[in-house]
Amino acid sequence: MAKNLRWKVLTIIGVVVAAGAAVYPPEDRIRLGLDLRGGVHMVLRVQTDDALRLETETVGEQLREQASLGGISLSSTVAVSPTELRIEGVPPDRDQELRQIADDLLQASYDRDSEPGGVYTFRMRPGVERALREEAVRQALQTIERRVNELGVAEPIVAPHGVGGDQILVQLPGVDDVARAKEIIRSTALLELKLVEEGPAPSREMLLQTRSGVVPPDLEVVTGADQSAGPGVGSTAYYLVRLVAPVTGRDLRNARPTIDEYNQPAISFSFNREGARKFGNFTGANVGRSLAVIMDDRVYSAAVIQERIADEGRITGTFSQEEASDLALILRSGALPASLTYLEERTVGPTLGADSIRAGVIASITGLVAVALFMLVYYRLSGINAVVAVALNLLILLGCMAYIGAVLTLPGIAGFILTIGMGVDSNVLIFERIKEELGSAKGVRAAVSAGFDRVFLTILDTHIASLIAAAFLFQFGSGPIKGFATTLFFGLVSNVFTAVFVSRTIFEAILTRRREATLSI
């Protein structure tokens, strides 16, 4: 019996030390959720259609290029939907040749469909479409991760979210400049260098005057600040540019903030080898024409190509120092393959977070002390037993949370409260039962033993039922409900240990030492 007891005590000490080690130091180990400590929580959706459209447009441009190399000029190549490319004006006598070119280029990923009059429609294959969408989300995830890391936020979370497969969860704890963080994450940062066909013009009408107000299918209108009079003074200017960009941000090697000739902050960028080759060929072929630097559909600058440029470029505009370095950061971290939309955004300011923690801690301690006092008054010395059991339960629960790296949120605290409640309940059940058994005059030891034995089954049933509920909630619930289920799960398991095993061992230890005829309960 005594030896048995020693092993029990050693087991308890082992568990307590392990839990204590996992929790210590608490401010590092117990991670608080954003609702408790402040920060930004965002759910973004990747508009994967963008990536598909880009792919279809690029392929269309390649097809046009290949066709014109073969001497076939097409009247139009248009992406009619993100996954559909339509070409028109194939001369009847060159039909066979065009099919050959198209098959070489597109057969792997597009299905071809022909209509009379030299019209073809290419539809992206479902498998390719799915792969591209997944790739877009994966790339977006990586890009956001890089940007967040460069922002220098501690313990950020960037993770896939939801069941649709196109949502991303971003959590930035303790961020104070929320607007800046959002801007940096959201910027598509799609840098495009496009040939200017017309402009700048002060209005859309004047821009399209020579084309009688119609934008040709392979061109587009973009706006930007007119900087012909120097930086910062111009009004909105309209440009007519080629739809497809020969080089984009994907071809960048690096970007850094710099100062332009007007002593204004600017961003200089350099191309990778592939980009430099493309850019060199392109500028070489278009000397004397105007080139626009466009980012996220806004013209930052447009300048005449003086000579063949290979590997360097610069974005000038009216930036502040911080804007310039943020832009450089975004460009460096790579363009997003698709634009992002916000589905959800929660900002908890640092003061509000701190207030919540303070109030929450005060309230929890008040509640715990009240419960402990009651147990001590009502159950006298045995109350100590219950208080120890519940305190250990909390310690073990915190240890488990720290060990698996779970984040403590408000719903998690709900799980804590239910755990404390069930811990107190288990002790009350046991004590009430022992009292009953004492009433039937069996002697203290027999009463304690019978009390624990009888109640063990009850506790097992209540806990297993709750564990089943927790397992289902974890499996099928979303974020906050999962947090609740996690806390509850560990709380229930540790409660069986503390309420039954620890509490009983304490009783046994006391009763072996002192052969008492009465029990303070």
Partner 1 sequence: MPIFKNPNFDFLKWRWPAVGLSILIIVAGVVTVATQGGLRLGIDFSGGTIVIVKFDAPVTEDAVRAAISGVADENVVQRYGTVDANEILIRLPQGGPEEGTSLEEGANAVVAALGQSSVGGFTVIGQELVGPVIGEALKSRGINAFLFAMFGILVYIGLRFRFSFAVGAIIAVAHDILVTLSILTFVGYELSLNVVAAMLTITGYSVNDSIVVFDRVRENLRRMRLDTFDTLVNTSINQTLSRTIITSGTTAFAVLALFLFGGEVLRGFAFTMLVGVISGTYSTIFIAAAAAIVISERRASRRAHATAGRAQTTSKPKRRTRKTRVRA
Number of residues interacting with partner 1: please give it, by CB under 8 A.
73
Question: In the complex with partner 1, which residue's Cβ is closer, 21 or 363?
Answer: 363
Rounded to the nearest 10 degrees, how much is the dihedral formed by the CA atoms of 237, 238, 244, 249? 20
Question: In the complex with partner 1, which residue's Cβ is closer, 208 or 473?
Answer: 473
Exposed, middle or buried by CB within 10 Å (0-12, 13-18, 19+), for 435? middle
Stretch that binds partner 1, among 19-27, 77-85, 373-381, 440-448 (CB under 8 A): 373-381
**Omega of the bond leading into 200 within 30 degrees of 0 (cis):** yes
How far is the C-alpha of 496 from the C-alpha of 508, rounded, in Å? 17
Q: Does the footprint of partner 1 cover residue 465 (CB under 8 A)?
A: yes
Least separation in angstroms between residue 204's CB and partner 1 is: 23
Q: Does the footprint of partner 1 cover residue 367 (CB under 8 A)?
A: yes
Query: Among residue numbers 8 through 67, which ones bind partner 1 (CB under 8 A)?
Result: 35, 43, 45
Do 303 and 290 form a contact (C-beta atoms < 8 A)? Answer: yes
Q: Does the footprint of partner 1 cover residue 429 (CB under 8 A)?
A: yes
Dihedral sign (CA 509, 512, 514, 516): positive
Question: In the complex with partner 1, which residue's Cβ is closer, 206 or 417?
Answer: 417
Question: In the complex with partner 1, which residue's Cβ is closer, 286 or 347?
Answer: 347
Stretch that binds partner 1, among 104-112, 147-155, 257-265, 425-433 (CB under 8 A): 425-433
Long-range contacts of 61-67 (CB under 8 A, 24+ apart): 61/244, 62/105, 63/87, 63/101, 63/102, 63/105, 63/106, 66/101, 66/104, 66/105, 67/98, 67/101
Q: Does the footprint of partner 1 cover residue 289 (CB under 8 A)?
A: no
Report helix, strand or coil for 157: strand
How far is the C-alpha of 304 from the C-alpha of 289, rounded, in Å? 5
Query: Among residue numbers 384 through 423, which ones bind partner 1 (CB under 8 A)?
Result: 410-411, 413-415, 417-418, 420-422
Dihedral sign (CA 146, 152, 155, 157): negative
Q: Number of helices (H) and strands (E) in the chain: give both, helices first.
A: 16, 19
**CA-based angle 16:21:24, to the nearest 5?**
120
Do 500 and 463 form a contact (C-beta atoms < 8 A)? Answer: no
Q: Does the footprint of partner 1 cover residue 440 (CB under 8 A)?
A: no
Q: Does the footprint of partner 1 cover residue 349 (CB under 8 A)?
A: yes
Least separation in angstroms between residue 484's CB and partner 1 is: 5
Stretch that binds partner 1, among 75-83, 130-138, 192-200, 369-377 (CB under 8 A): 369-377
Site for partner 1 (CB under 8 A): which residue of 16, 118, 480, 493?
A: 480
The number of beta carbons lying within 10 Å of the beta carbon of residue 147 is 25
Stretch that binds partner 1, among 22-30, 64-72, 212-220, 473-481 (CB under 8 A): 473-481
Q: What is the DSSP string of 325-394?
A: HHHHHHHHT---SS-EEEEEEEEE-HHHHHHHHHHHHHHHHHHHHHHHHHHHHHHTHHHHHHHHHHHHHH
Least separation in angstroms between residue 418's CB and partner 1 is: 5
Exposed, middle or buried by CB within 10 Å (0-12, 13-18, 19+), for 228? exposed
Q: Does the footprint of partner 1 cover residue 454 (CB under 8 A)?
A: yes
Q: Does the footprint of partner 1 cover residue 471 (CB under 8 A)?
A: yes
Least separation in angstroms between residue 347's CB and partner 1 is: 4
Q: Does the footprint of partner 1 cover residue 272 (CB under 8 A)?
A: no
Stretch that binds partner 1, among 200-208, 240-248, 307-315, 477-485 (CB under 8 A): 477-485
Which positions ≥6 away from 144 have C-beta within 8 Å? 44, 158, 168, 170, 185, 336
Question: In the complex with partner 1, which residue's Cβ is closer, 259 or 352?
Answer: 352
Q: Does the footprint of partner 1 cover residue 356 (CB under 8 A)?
A: yes
Query: Among residue numbers 326 through 345, which ones bind partner 1 (CB under 8 A)?
Result: 341-345
Q: Does the footprint of partner 1 cover residue 456 (CB under 8 A)?
A: no
Query: Among residue numbers 160 through 199, which ones bind partner 1 (CB under 8 A)?
Result: 162-163, 178, 186
Question: In the complex with partner 1, which residue's Cβ is closer, 128 or 469?
Answer: 469
